[in-house]
Chains A and B, each alone.
Chain A
Amino acid sequence: MFQFAPYVLKSLWRHRARTMLTVSGAAVAMFVFCIVSSVQEGLERLTTNDDAQRTLIVFQENRFCPTSSRLPEDYSRKIREIPGVKDAMPVQVWTNNCRASLDIVVFNGAPPRQLREARDLTLVSGNWEEFESQRDAAIVGSNVAQRRGLKAGEQFSIGELSVKVAGIFTSPIPAEDNLIYTSLEFLQYTKGVDSAGLVTQHEVHLTTDADPDATASAIDELLKAGPVATTTRRKGAFQTSTLSDLVDLIQFAHWLGYACVGLVLSLVATTTIMSVQDRIKEYAVLETLGVRPLRVFRLVVSEGILLCFAGGVLGTAMALAALGWGGMAIGAEGVTIAFRPSLRLAILGATVSLIVGFLAGLAPATQAARTPILNSLRDE
């Protein structure tokens, strides 16, 4: 098969303009497909990871935006008494935008020591001690830092908030990289928040043998008698519910991704069939020389695969680069979905382009291999 590789490559090179246009068209479509897939992947990662399944969020009943949920801070103490609860951490949330946004900035205020235990954060610059000792210190997720150009030691202000960046962190949960953590008190006493003794939510960590749903019910039952009723859900369910409007959009975008794949299929199939029709006599000559029809079939399919794979790899690489450099995230109501480049995405892009290339080559290849030699030789 590879003995005929020069023939395939030179045939593609012969119609460079057509080849380049097809490859670039496939690249653009695969770029969109990969971006859409990364959003889906981000949502999936956010709502299905272990943390999302084994952590509970206690929110004020019938409230959705973080600014409207106001729970007593001491609920954490009561929650800790419930069997199955390992720890409960009060969290104050502040966001610059409650609606869907591509540049959402979300502050989470929590007791620094508890935060350090509850989160698997790695500081890439700065230090924890400064964060724990200074009231206005904040540690910033790497995506926000990249997007906003923040470095350790700098001052960052947004709205009524002004913090000193004590460090930049990364997390194995990509959505965490879009958060800024401060101490709980700092965020509670910020002008405009005024939540002394109140928090947005409580984050509940469970023991390994605890049943999350049963514990959630127990928490709500216990706090029903308190000043503010609560709704407790697994973190993943809470995030899915909070992002429900976005989830619908993302699921719709899923079809947009498939449409892009269909576009690549159609584009490459059209180019390949045009190429076959131009060269139908050439294939007849090859068969006359002794090339088997099956080999002719494979030659045409390999052209389709090459075109599509080149476009697919280019588009996927562009998407991964954009995702890596852009630090993009979409969020609503204090919950963010991170778009991250990943090996899975790279493999998906390459695999989809290979499969689409193969499918795109089938019809032209069948035509090239099945047209009677004499009919093709008479073709001028």
Chain B
Amino acid sequence: MALVELRGVTKQFSKGDEVITPLDDIDLDIEQGEFVSLMGPSGTGKSTLLNLISGIDRPNHGTVLVDKVDITGLSRGKLADWRAANLGYIFQTHNLIPVLTAYENVELPTLLLPLTSAERRKRVELALDVVGLTDRADHYPRQLSGGQEQRVGIARAIVGHPQVVVADEPTGSLDTKTSEQIQTLLQDLNKQLDITLVMVTHDHQVAQIATRQLLLDEGKIVEATTGGTIEKVRNG
């Protein structure tokens, strides 16, 4: 059974009299340890799909199961608990808490888990070590470069040992060189730590680092590429 299962997922918004359907009856399976990229033009539902998998948005129809838990039926509070235990989120604009140091930012998700302070410290130090920022632990976000901030964001996403890490255009606000470093880091996380990653990107090159690339268009997954093999997908 897949780690993430979407069945008949439809998401609609009303904009005045117009009904917009960014996702239309989507089915999708993501296996444990997979690295999936979601591509497509703006407004095709990439981020919406990511938000549904993260439980920060709800579908109008269909179910989203993560590790057999139907997260569409959870209350806002239960969803928060579920995210704390199962999900890591990497934002495009890092979204670090400006008043907290890099260490404190990474520590935040662990405060929500049943860990001792020693376990927390160990996890935070390990996460910072993985992203190569041990020496910047006491720095505040304003004292870090964009790339370093994103590394802290990645450390924060993995520190809770989540089942799934989602990344919303993680290199979108970075220069080319820094973007490449982040891409390498994400690949390492997937390969070496066996972290399941779902990444949204509009950059075709960045999408290539994933083990499976999905192309969305008009609310449907229209193409899937796995290991260089392109498959046209019929959905709905």
Contact between chains at B77 and A289 (CB < 8 Å): no
- Interface residue count for B (Cβ, 8 Å)? 27
A288 is an interface residue with CB less than 8 A from chain B: yes
**Which A339-380 residues have a C-beta within 8 angstroms of B?**
373-374, 377
A7 is an interface residue with CB less than 8 A from chain B: yes
Question: Which of B83, B111, B156 is A3 in contact with, Cβ under 8 Å?
Answer: B111
Quick one: given A6-B104, A10-B100, A374-B56, are A288 and B89 in contact (CB under 8 Å)?
A: yes
Q: Which B residues touch A374, using CB under 8 A?
A: 51, 56-57
Contact between chains at B77 and A294 (CB < 8 Å): yes
A9 to B, closest residue via Cβ: B99
Stretch at the interface among B29-37, B90-98, B211-219, B228-236: B90-98
The complex places the Cα of A6 from the Cα of B109 at a distance, in Å, of 14
A210 is an interface residue with CB less than 8 A from chain B: no
Contact between chains at B56 and A288 (CB < 8 Å): yes
**Which A248-303 residues have a C-beta within 8 angstroms of B?**
281-282, 285-294
B194 is an interface residue with CB less than 8 A from chain A: no
Contact between chains at B99 and A7 (CB < 8 Å): yes
Quick one: given A4-B111, A281-B95, A286-B108, are A292 and B100 in contact (CB under 8 Å)?
A: no
Quick one: given A288-B54, A292-B77, A293-B80, are A11 and B99 in contact (CB under 8 Å)?
A: yes
Quick one: given A288-B56, A290-B80, are A14 and B99 in contact (CB under 8 Å)?
A: yes
Contact between chains at A290 and B81 (CB < 8 Å): yes
Contact between chains at B104 and A290 (CB < 8 Å): no
The complex places the Cα of A293 from the Cα of B83 at a distance, in Å, of 13
The complex places the Cα of A1 from the Cα of B81 at a distance, in Å, of 15
The complex places the Cα of A104 from the Cα of B33 at a distance, in Å, of 86
B85 is an interface residue with CB less than 8 A from chain A: yes
Contact between chains at A291 and B95 (CB < 8 Å): no
B99 to A, closest residue via Cβ: A10
B112 is an interface residue with CB less than 8 A from chain A: yes
Shortest distance between the CB of B158 and any CB in chain A (Å): 12
Contact between chains at B97 and A282 (CB < 8 Å): yes
How does the 8 Å CB contact mask read for B194-235 relative to A, with 1 for contact and 0 for none?
000000000000000000000000000000000000000000
A13 is an interface residue with CB less than 8 A from chain B: yes
B121 is an interface residue with CB less than 8 A from chain A: no
Contact between chains at B112 and A290 (CB < 8 Å): yes
Residues of B within 8 A of A (CB): 51, 54, 56-57, 76-77, 80-85, 87, 89, 91, 95, 97-100, 104, 108-109, 111-112, 156, 160
The 8 closest A-B pairs by CB, nearest first: A290-B84, A10-B99, A290-B83, A292-B80, A373-B56, A3-B111, A285-B95, A290-B112
> Would you give 14 A-B contacts (Cβ < 8 Å), ordered by A?
A7-B97, A14-B99, A287-B80, A288-B56, A288-B83, A288-B89, A289-B109, A289-B112, A290-B82, A291-B80, A291-B84, A294-B77, A374-B51, A374-B56
